[in-house]
């Protein structure tokens, strides 16, 4: 995100019919589980004065080929095409996840044991990077709340910090000091328990590609993309607000909350509008990325301009 150049994704890919049918199924599901919340978009539009028609029209699933070839993943390089090119040899298995800090059930476990108590779900969410590009992605995974509850946090635990694997032998980007390694992120416990918060193990009905954060990545659709930490190896419960990687890199640019907010601009990018991968025209960005109904109550009384 320190890089200013903009790379346009290729525009000429043809989607195989099987994927097209897949997407139709996912679109059907969007309506039934309300993950994209058309009603939320309407409410947002009315409150924020956006064109609701425009906001909803764009909610079709983004081509898989775009989402898997235009990535931010500094562990594999800083250009958008680097993660796909440089992550193909990455070993996402075997994998284990550590639970640490202020909880009654700390420990380390193989990924399969970490996942197996939960039911695997499909969720289609909007995704919005602070660089003002966006997508609509059908994820597969488990609710983050399941994992938090199983860890049984102590009442003193107010936050959970998540950490990416540190392995420069596999992650070539980690051999350079572009950002501080390992990449870390954090959520308040109530945010981590929010039903929208998700741990993805797959997308587009398949196992998560390495460049998208295999084998386990966070998905918090009302927040900017950088909160969605990839290749997670650790969750730690704390009583202090964690300082995330991007806060360390530029505290005046990246805050802890990073809630999508069209009214609060990033110093280098207006947040009022966004461009969906594969589309040309920009569309208005929605407050909390269109998920106000599900998340706004967590920030009642907070100054969202100050707590960016
Ligand atoms: N470990 C790690 N996680 C990361 C990043 C990263 O560089 N390293 N980039 C973040 C940013 S800025 C974005 S926009 C998303 C991009 O996810 P995608 O490439 O799957 O679309 O991943 C986030 N998670
Ligand atoms: Mo991002």
For the CA of 164, the nearest ligand: 1
Report the separation in Å between the CA atom of 282 and the middle of ligand 2, taken as the mean of its atom positions: 17
Q: How many angstroms separate the CA atoms of 135 and 72, rounded?
A: 13
Q: What mean pLDDT do residues 264-287 have? A: 96
For the CA of 82, the nearest ligand: 1
Exposed e or buried b per residue across 280-295, where buried means at least 16 C-beta atoms within 10 angstroms of its C-beta: eebbbbbbbbbbbebb
Q: What mean pLDDT do residues 137-157 have? A: 98
Length of the chain: 308
- Residue in 128, 201, 228, 268 to alter for ligand 1 test, most ligand atoms within 8 A of Cβ: 228
For the CA of 62, the nearest ligand: 1
Q: What is the pLDDT of residue 57?
A: 59
Residue-wise pLDDT for 24-55, tens only, equals: 333 333 333 334 443 333 333 333 333 233 33
Q: How confident is the model at residue 59 (pLDDT cuts 50, 70, 90)?
A: confident
Is 16's pLDDT higher than 90?
Answer: no
Q: What is the pLDDT of residue 58?
A: 57
- Ligand 1 atom with least separation from CA of 173: 7
Q: How many angstroms separate the CA atoms of 150 and 153, rounded?
A: 8
- Ligand 1 atom with least separation from CA of 164: 1
Peptide bond into 94 cis (omega under 30): yes
How, if at all, do strands 121-128 and 133-143 pair? Answer: antiparallel
- Residue in 199, 230, 248, 258 to alter for ligand 1 test, most ligand atoms within 8 A of Cβ: 230
Q: Is the CB of 230 under 6 A from ligand 1?
A: yes
Residue-wise pLDDT for 62-91, tens only, equals: 999 999 999 999 999 999 999 999 999 999
- CB neighbourhood size of 193 (10 A): 18
Q: How many angstroms separate the CA atoms of 193 and 155, rounded?
A: 14
Answer positive or negative: Cα dihedral of 43, 136, 145, 72. Answer: negative
Share of the chain above pLDDT 90, in %: 81
Closest CA to 229 of 42, 97, 57: 97
In DSSP terms, 184 is beta-bridged to: 163
- Residue with the nearest Cα to atom 10 of ligand 1? 226
Answer positive or negative: Cα dihedral of 202, 206, 209, 215. Answer: positive
Q: How many angstroms separate the CA atoms of 203 and 141, rounded?
A: 8
Q: Is the CB of 222 under 6 A from ligand 1?
A: no
Q: What is the pLDDT of residue 51?
A: 29
Q: How many angstroms separate the CA atoms of 188 and 175, rounded?
A: 31
Q: What is the pLDDT of residue 139?
A: 98
Q: Is the CB of 164 under 6 A from ligand 1?
A: yes
What are φ and ψ of residue 124, in 5° steps?
A: -100, 120
Q: Is the CB of 62 under 6 A from ligand 1?
A: no
Exposed e or buried b per residue across 59-74, where buried means at least 16 C-beta atoms within 10 angstroms of its C-beta: bbbbbbbbbbbbbbbb
Q: How confident is the model at residue 219 (pLDDT cuts 50, 70, 90)?
A: very high
Query: Residue ranges of the domains in the chain?
Result: 53-299
Kindly report the average pLDDT of the chain as a whole number.
Answer: 86
Q: Is the CB of 1 under 6 A from ligand 1?
A: yes
More confident residue, 23 or 189: 189
Gyration radius from the chain CA atoms: 18
Is 1's pLDDT higher than 80?
Answer: no
Residue-wise pLDDT for 120-141, tens only, equals: 999 999 999 999 999 999 999 9
Closest CA to 105 of 237, 197, 218: 237
Q: How many angstroms separate the CA atoms of 198 and 291, rounded?
A: 14
Kindly indicate whether the domain formed by 53-299 is annotated with CATH number 3.90.420.10: yes
Q: Is the CB of 44 under 6 A from ligand 1?
A: no
Answer positive or negative: Cα dihedral of 227, 231, 235, 240. Answer: negative
- CB neighbourhood size of 85 (10 A): 12
Q: Is the CB of 254 under 6 A from ligand 1?
A: no
Contacting residues for 201 by C-beta, under 8 A, at least 6 apart? 115, 120, 140, 141, 142, 207, 208, 214, 215, 216
């Amino acid at each position: 995100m320190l890089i200013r150049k903009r790379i346009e994704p290729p525009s000429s890919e043809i989607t195989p019919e099987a994927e097209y049918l897949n997407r139709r199924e996912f679109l059907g599901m969007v309506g039934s589980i309300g993950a994209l919340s058309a009603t939320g978009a309407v409410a947002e539009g009315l409150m924020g004065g956006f064109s609701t028609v425009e906001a909803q029209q764009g909610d079709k699933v983004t081509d898989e080929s775009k989402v898997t070839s235009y990535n931010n993943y500094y562990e594999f390089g800083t250009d958008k095409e680097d993660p796909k090119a440089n992550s193909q040899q990455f070993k996402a298995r075997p994998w284990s996840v550590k639970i640490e800090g202020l909880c009654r059930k700390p420990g380390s476990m193989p990924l399969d044991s970490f996942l197996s108590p939960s039911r695997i779900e499909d969720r289609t969410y909007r995704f919005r990077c602070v660089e003002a590009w966006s997508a609509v992605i059908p994820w597969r995974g488990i609710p983050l709340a399941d994992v938090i509850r199983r860890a049984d946090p102590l009442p003193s635990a107010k936050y959970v910090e998540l950490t990416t694997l540190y392995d420069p032998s596999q992650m070539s980007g980690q051999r350079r000091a572009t950002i501080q390694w390992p990449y870390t992120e954090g959520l308040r416990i109530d945010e981590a328990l929010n039903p929208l918060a998700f741990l993805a193990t797959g997308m587009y009905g398949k196992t998560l590609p390495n460049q998208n954060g295999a084998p386990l990545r966070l998905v918090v659709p009302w927040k900017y993309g950088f909160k969605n930490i990839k290749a997670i190896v650790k969750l730690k419960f704390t009583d202090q607000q964690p300082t995330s990687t991007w806060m360390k890199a530029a505290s005046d640019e990246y805050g802890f909350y990073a809630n999508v907010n069209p009214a609060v601009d990033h110093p280098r990018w207006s947040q009022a509008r966004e461009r969906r991968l594969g589309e040309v025209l920009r569309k208005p960005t929605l407050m909390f990325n269109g998920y106000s109904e599900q998340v706004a109550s967590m920030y009642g009384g907070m100054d969202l301009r100050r707590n960016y």
